[in-house]
A = this chain, B = another copy of it.
Amino acid sequence: MFTSNRCKANPILWSQEVVKDGTVRAVVLNSGGANCYTGAEGFQTTHAVAEQVANNLGIGAVDVVVCSTGLIGLANPRQNLLDGVDAATAALSAAGGSDAAAAIMTTDSVSKQVVVEGAGWSVGGMAKGAGMLAPQLATMLVVLTTDAVVPAADLDAALRAATRVSFDRLDSDGCMSTNDTVTVMASGASGITPSLPDFTEALTQACTDLAMQLLRDAEGADHEIAITVLNAATEDDAVAVGRSVARSNLFKAAVFGNDPNWGRVLASIGTTDAAFDPADLDVAMNGVWVCKQSTPHADPATVDLKPREVSVTIDLKAGSERATVWTNDLTHAYVHENSAYSS
């Protein structure tokens, strides 16, 4: 799965071709430069990196996914990358997962890994990302592996299902990256073929766990906010309403200030075309129903927003679908960290 941003980085342009035949044998990741909007020279750098990996491992370059992260418009020095490939392939080890997860950190404060056990098989994954999380995928590079036997088409279907309800519902700051990639590879080493539902569930659990790790490590955030929309006419409506609240700078700044300003939730809901009656909306914050039937209900002063984890619940009373969208608060630290990123 790749970013849906139409301004795609060179490694995305390369890797989209690599995955078309359903076979990936290696993933190589670099930070320091996104290799995005760097022209033909940049694409050749990505190609050279894939060739170097392939040569070192005795595989084909067309089976090597390349991921890059960092500043847009900055040419990545090719020799540095090739030297890095040599160092990384020389250090390859079955026990090197944690080293890899640490190596891909950029502004991350902690490395992010997950293991989900199946019946005789497992799914493992690592992620890097700390902000610019939205709205389809996030600014993140994720690599998942499994030793289950899973045909390429099933793997693709399972990954689409898993990302749809995990990374795709993370909306830390509404900004969509040019480099997002989630790769999953199945080796079949366990010899066991799980049912597609079982495998999809395990993969979804792994992706959700990594998504929550990304959320908790978002740049400058003081709160993780889960916005759950109940009784929507459609799941799309529920996601649209959740995302509208997740994108409200005013709401996010209020949460930073521990201010249960539910009016900003309603003002965001009203910007969507989801099915609901504007005169019959219920809103709860951290379990306190501060608004019922679009009128004030419980005293907002009873809402305690000091804990990091904040929940907003919106009852649309328009159907039976639901969805949760996750975001962070808008803080001084967010502004600080993102106001001097390239300097």
Contact = CB atoms under 8 A, between A and B. Distances in A.
A303 to B, nearest CB: 12
Interface in A124-146: 132, 135
A278 B340 CA distance: 26
A69 B54 CA distance: 64
A330 B341 contact: no
B341 A261 contact: yes
Nearest to A262: B73
Interface string A68-81: 00011111000000
Given A7-B267, A338-B250, A343 B295 contact: no
A270 B72 contact: no
Interface in A54-76: 71-75
Interface in A15-51: 34, 36-39
Interface in A172-223: 173-178
Contact of A340 (B247, B259, B268): B259
A311 interface: no
Interface string A255-274: 01101011110111111110
Chain A interface size, as a band, is 35 or more
A248 interface: yes
Contacts of A231: none
A161 interface: no
A110 to B, nearest CB: 22
Copies in the complex: 2
Interface in A274-288: 278, 281
A237 B48 CA distance: 37
Given A39-B295, A278-B6, A296-B38, A266 B338 contact: no
A130 B247 CA distance: 19
A181 B135 CA distance: 31
A152 interface: no
A300 B73 CA distance: 10
B342 A335 contact: no
A249 B294 contact: no
A259 to B, nearest CB: 5
A114 interface: no
A270 B332 contact: no
Interface of A: 5-8, 34, 36-39, 71-75, 132, 135, 173-178, 247-250, 253-254, 256-257, 259, 261-264, 266-273, 278, 281, 290-291, 293-296, 300, 330-332, 334-336, 338-343
**A-B interface, 10 closest residue pairs, ranked by CB to CB distance from nearest:** A72-B263, A257-B339, A7-B270, A39-B295, A253-B338, A5-B270, A6-B270, A257-B340, A253-B339, A175-B250
Given A36-B263, A174-B248, A261-B341, 8 more contacts: A5-B271, A8-B270, A175-B250, A178-B270, A249-B249, A249-B334, A250-B341, A259-B339
